[in-house]
């Protein structure tokens, strides 16, 4: 079953310095059809203005994955970690018993990121932070695992959740198939381009919840960048 969450149907926020679209409902008055998918509870499409960002704030008991789509993301946290992420880079923050961090636009163009939150397998644990570049050329024509809580996903950033985050770059006309283990659910977002997913047309920035299917068969109708969470 495919449940198409079109860009125009997503809840939105505009704070001036931050423009956000929410693939999953984040408030009581949000779109009730956009409920969590297993451990996947948040997928925000954020655009942060030049010179702006999130001030120091705290999280606990959450796995937070940041996928940079455009610009430069600056990060600082109470572990002493500091980094600059470029487009295509991925960051994982395991909040555990508690961590405070700030994230901000370090570049000269609007910063565009996906913020993906996963519920951990269990509460607690030492907080942790890591980041890694994933060159888009390495994802050409195939899905690459970017972050994972499953055994065997070598090269992926570790998360403490029953999920994996994947990315793919497809040229127009290329296709890719992702097998879903029994009872697994997935959420796919078209970061750019246009695709067909199991025969259904999906436009730029749209999301699709995938449930009760053995596989996702994707055909790129034009050059496309895809991000997907296999939500276990």
Asked whether the beta carbons of 13 and 41 are under 8 A apart, the reply is no
The answer to the question of whether 75 is labelled as a binding residue is: no
Annotated binding residue 59: yes
3-class secondary-structure state, position 9: helix
Question: Could you please report the per-residue DSSP string of 171-204?
Answer: -TT-EEEEE--TT--EEEEEEES-EEETTEEE-T
**Residue recorded with tokens 């992420």:** 85
DSSP 144: E
- Kindly state the tokens that stand for 16: 């001036």
Give the chain's radius of gyration (CA, Å): 17
CB 118 within 8 A of CB 163: yes
Residue spans of beta strands (DSSP E) within 60-163: 63-70, 73-77, 82-85, 89-94, 99-105, 111-118, 128-133, 143-148, 157-158
Does the annotation flag 103 for ligand binding? yes
101 among the known binding-site residues? yes
Q: Which residue numbers belong to the known binding site for Fe cation?
A: 57, 59, 101, 103
Q: Which residue numbers belong to the known binding site?
A: 57, 59, 101, 103
């Amino acid at each position: 079953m495919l449940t198409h969450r079109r860009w125009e149907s997503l809840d939105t926020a505009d704070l001036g310095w931050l423009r956000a679209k929410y693939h999953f409902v984040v408030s009581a008055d949000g779109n009730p059809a956009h409920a969590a998918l297993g451990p996947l509870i948040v997928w925000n499409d954020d655009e942060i203005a030049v010179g702006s960002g999130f001030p120091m704030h705290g999280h606990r008991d959450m796995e937070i994955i940041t996928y940079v789509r455009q610009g430069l993301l600056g990060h600082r946290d109470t572990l002493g970690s500091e980094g600059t992420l470029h487009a295509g880079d991925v960051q994982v923050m395991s909040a555990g018993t508690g961590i405070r961090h700030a994230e901000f636009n370090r570049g000269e163009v609007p910063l565009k990121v996906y913020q993906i939150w996963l519920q951990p397998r269990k509460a607690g644990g030492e907080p942790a932070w890591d980041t890694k570049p994933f060159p888009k050329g390495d994802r050409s024509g195939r899905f690459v695992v970017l972050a994972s809580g499953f055994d065997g996903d070598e090269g992926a950033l570790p998360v403490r959740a029953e999920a994996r985050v994947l990315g793919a770059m497809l040229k127009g006309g290329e296709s890719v198939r992702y097998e879903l283990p029994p009872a697994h659910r997935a959420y796919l977002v078209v970061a750019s381009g246009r695709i067909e997913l199991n025969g259904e047309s999906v436009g730029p920035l749209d999301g699709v919840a995938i449930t009760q299917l053995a596989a996702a068969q994707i055909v790129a109708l034009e050059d496309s960048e895809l991000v997907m969470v296999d939500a276990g």
